[in-house]
Structure 1
C-alpha cells in the first residue's frame, strides 16, 4: 500500500464501521496500527451487539514500515534539530541496542513526524510500533558497519550530506533561538500598526455599462423604484453583475481613483445620481455600508510574524556567510566557467 492508498483508506473509513480480525480495531485504526486496512486483512461487519474495540498490540511491521515511510520518518527525525539535554527522569533510556541508548525524546521526535492520524494515538499504543522500528534500524546499521559498508565511498558521500543537513538545522536553530522573542515580535507588530493605521472602507455595489447614455438610463430606472441588485444582474457587464454588483468591502486604494472618489463621497444607502467614468466604462455606484478597518490582534498575527522574522534572520545569516566564502557555481554539465554565486 503506497502513501496515496493509505490516505484513501483513511478517507473511506469515515463511512465504515468494521473491526479488524487481527487487532480488533476499527478499520481506520487498523490501517495505522497493524498495516491491514483494506489491503491484506479481512474485516468482518460489526455484530448487532455493541462491543468496545480492544487496542491491539503494535508490532514492527505496520503500514508505515510497509510503505517505507517509517524509515524516511526515522531518518528525518534524527536529522532534525537536536534535542536539548534533559534530566534523566524526564528523558529516560527506553532501550539499548548493542550499547547504543534510545531515549524517550527519540521516540517523541519520531512520533511528531508521523501522519496526524497516527499522532492522535496515545504513546502507550504507539510505543512498541516506533521502538521496534528504531531497534531494527539500529541493528541493520550496526551490521552494515560490521561488514565494512560504512567505508564505501558512495555511502561516505551520502552520510556527509546528511551530516551537513543536521549541522545546518542545528546551527540555524541555535542562532535563531534567542533572536525571535515575544518582545521583538511585539515591537514588530507595533511598527506594523504604526505603518498601517486604521482606514475607512466601504461596502459597495455597482452597475457597469459601456456608454453614459446607458448609465443615465439606469439612474432613471433606480429613481423609478427598481431594485439596484436586480438591475445589476440584468444590465451590468462587469463580473460582479451576477452577484447583484456586489464588490464587498474595500479601501480607497483598492479601486481606480475616479471610482474610489465617488464611492467614498456617498452616504450608506445612496447611489451616484451622476454616472462615474473610468477606463472600464460607466458606473452607477451604490454604497451599502461604511466602517473603519479593524487591525488584527497580536495573537492572531504572532505565528505569521514569527515565521517571517525567522526567514528574515535566516536570510541575513546565509547572506553573511556567502559574503565571507568563495562560492563558484558551474552549469548543469559541471564544467568550469560558471558564474560566482551572488
Structure 2
C-alpha cells in the first residue's frame, strides 16, 4: 500500500483589509485651510467618507498579477467596485452590523490572513531556498527512488490466517483479480488489486522489500505484514524508471522545501510563545 509524506501546507486566504486611519491625521486634515478640497491619496468620497487611493492600488496590483491589463478601463472598474463596497459598508453600519461580534471576528480573521501572508512572504524573501539545496534534494529523491519501477497487485486483509488462505487459493489456481474483491484496500480492490506502476520507495518498507524480491508473474508465498495489515503481493512487470529532469522537477521541489521551511519556522515560533 502506498504511503505519502505529510507536508504542512499553510493556505492563507487573501482579503482586502481596510487600512486604519489615524485620528490625529484626520484632525489635522480637518483643521487645514484646504480641507474642503479633495485630499491627495483619496480615490473618492462617499457620503463624506473618503476611500483611500491605497485600496485601489492594492486591487489594481492584484488584478495585474492575475493577468489583467492596467489601464483606464481597469482603474475605472476598480473605482466603481470600491465605491460600491463603501456604499454597502455604510449601509451595513447603519443597520448596526459593524457591532455584530461574529462579523467582527470574521473581519479580524481576514486581517490576520493578510498579515500572515505578508509575514510569510517576507520570511521566504529573507530565507530563500538556494539552488544548491534544491539540487541536493533532487539527487536525494533520485537515489531514494532507485532506477526501477514495478507494476504490482496486492490483496490486503486483517489477519495472517486470512492471507494464508488467499495464498492457498492462488496456489490452487484461483485468479488474483477475483480474490482481490475481498481486499481491505478500497483504492485497488475494484481493479483486481492493481496498484499501477510505482517505485519501491513509494511503498511502506515491508511491502517494498517483498515486492523487489519477487519474480515477474509470481506472488508472495507468505503474508507480508505492515502497519496496514497483511498483504499478498503479485509482481506483474518491471521497467526502468524515467524520472523528470531537474528543470522539470525544480518548481515542485522548491515549493515543497519552502513549505517545510515555513512549517519549521511556525513550529519554532509556537515553541517560543508563552501560552496559558
1:179 aligns with 2:127: yes
The residue that corresponds to 1:75 in the other structure is 17
- Contact in 2 for aligned 1:205/1:246 (Cα 8 Å): yes
- Contact in 2 for aligned 1:204/1:246 (Cα 8 Å): yes
The residue that corresponds to 1:189 in the other structure is 134
Q: CA deviation at 1:246?
A: 0.4
- Contact in 1 for aligned 2:41/2:54 (Cα 8 Å): no
- Contact in 2 for aligned 1:112/1:119 (Cα 8 Å): no
Q: CA deviation at 1:194?
A: 4.8
Distance 1:311 1:284 in 2: 36
The residue that corresponds to 1:271 in the other structure is 218
The residue that corresponds to 1:100 in the other structure is 41
Report the TM-score, using the length of structure 1 for normalisation: 0.43
- Contact in 2 for aligned 1:205/1:288 (Cα 8 Å): no
Q: CA deviation at 1:205?
A: 1.3
- Contact in 2 for aligned 1:262/1:276 (Cα 8 Å): no
Q: Which moved more, 1:96-105 or 1:233-242?
A: 96-105
Instruction: Sort the Cα spacing of 1:307 and 1:121 in 2 relative to 1 into closer, same or farther, 3 A.
Output: same
Deviations 1:31-68 (A, max 9, x none): xxxxxxxxxxxxxxxxxxxxxxxxxxxxxxxxxxxxxx
* Higher-RCO chain (CA-CA 8 Å, sequence separation at least 6): 2
The residue that corresponds to 2:27 in the other structure is none
Secondary structure of the structure 2 residue equivalent to 1:204: strand
Q: CA deviation at 1:212?
A: 3.8
- Contact in 2 for aligned 1:186/1:298 (Cα 8 Å): no
Decide which structure has the larger Cα Rg and report it.
Answer: 1
The residue that corresponds to 1:261 in the other structure is 209
Q: CA deviation at 1:308?
A: 3.8
- Contact in 2 for aligned 1:271/1:287 (Cα 8 Å): yes
Aligned length: 202
Deviations 1:261-283 (A, max 9, x none): 33212344x223x6222344572
Secondary structure of the structure 2 residue equivalent to 1:261: helix
1:235 aligns with 2:179: yes
- Contact in 2 for aligned 1:218/1:284 (Cα 8 Å): no
Instruction: Sort the Cα spacing of 1:171 and 1:250 in 2 relative to 1 into closer, same or farther, 3 A.
Output: closer
Distance 2:192 2:265 in 1: 47
Instruction: Sort the Cα spacing of 1:285 and 1:133 in 2 relative to 1 into closer, same or farther, 3 A.
Output: closer
Distance 1:245 1:136 in 2: 57
Secondary structure of the structure 2 residue equivalent to 1:75: coil
Q: CA deviation at 1:254?
A: 2.0
Instruction: Sort the Cα spacing of 1:208 and 1:129 in 2 relative to 1 into closer, same or farther, 3 A.
Output: closer
Deviations 1:65-113 (A, max 9, x none): xxxxxxx95535x58xxxxxxxxxxxxxxxx932335598753421455
Distance 1:281 1:73 in 2: 49
Show structure 2 runs of 5+ residues with no match.
1-13, 21-36, 44-51, 90-104
The residue that corresponds to 1:305 in the other structure is 257
